[in-house]
Amino acid sequence: MTLNFALNGRKLSREIAPDETLLQLLRDCGMHSVRSGCDTSNCGICTVWVDGKPVLSCGYLAARVEGRAVTTLEGVKDEAEALMRCLAAEGADQCGYCSPGFLMCALAMFRELENPGDAEMRAYLAGNLCRCTGYASQMRALAKYAEGRRSK
């Protein structure tokens, strides 16, 4: 079947299989930030945006994005940079494999919530697992990033 959608602001038309996941499609489109972690929509690593809202692309059929806008980290690099630098300063990247999905969810959170506190952030990001960091450094980085936003 033919799928028409926008990827990071660019209109695309692709032939897809009806059972193809959005994750497969995006990797085929060369979006290396979109990575698989669990195959069962538990870990948050494959998070991308559809019409600006975070979705888990491993459990999301590609056919569902017909006529819609898909955003991956590649499409919001500039917006992500300040948060990436906060994470790097804390050493909160470690293996880095879960970082793009985490960033996509965190950026969506900061677009959605004015001034999230620690508990609010933990709840919003609960579906983004990380095995390396123990989360504390990520939370410190988020707090510093949020502070930076407020003082702007």
Do the strands 69-71 and 47-50 form a parallel or antiparallel pair, or are they unpaired?
A: antiparallel
The 66-105 contact track toward another protein, x by CB under 8 A, reads ------xxx--x--x---xx-xxxxxxxxxxxxxx--x--
3 SS3 class: strand
Q: Decide the pairing of beta strands 53-56 and 47-50.
A: antiparallel
50: contact with another protein by CB under 8 A? no
Our finding on whether 146 is near another protein (CB under 8 A) is no
Element (H, E) at 4: strand 2-7
Among the residue ranges 7-15, 41-49, 62-70, 106-114, the one whose residues contact another protein (CB under 8 A): 41-49
Q: Which of 136, 147, 148, 149 binds another protein (CB under 8 A)?
A: 136
Residue from 8, 47, 71, 128 in contact with another protein (CB under 8 A): 128
Nearest CB to another protein, comparing residues 4 and 15: 15
Question: Cα(18)–Cα(104) distance, rounded to whole angstroms?
Answer: 26
Return the number of the residue (55 or 92) whose C-beta is nearest another protein. Answer: 92
- Residue 143 sits in the site that holds another protein (CB under 8 A): no
Out of 38, 50, 61, 63, name the contact with another protein by CB under 8 A.
38
Instruction: Name residues whose C-beta falls within 8 Å of residue 145's C-beta, 6 or more positions apart in sequence.
Output: 82, 83, 86, 110
Both tokens assigned to 60: 């999301």
Which helix (H) or strand (E) segment holds residue 138: the answer is helix 136-150
21 secondary structure, DSSP code = B
Q: Using CB under 8 A, list all residues that contact another protein.
A: 17, 31-40, 42-43, 45, 72-74, 77, 80, 84-85, 87-100, 103, 122-123, 125-139
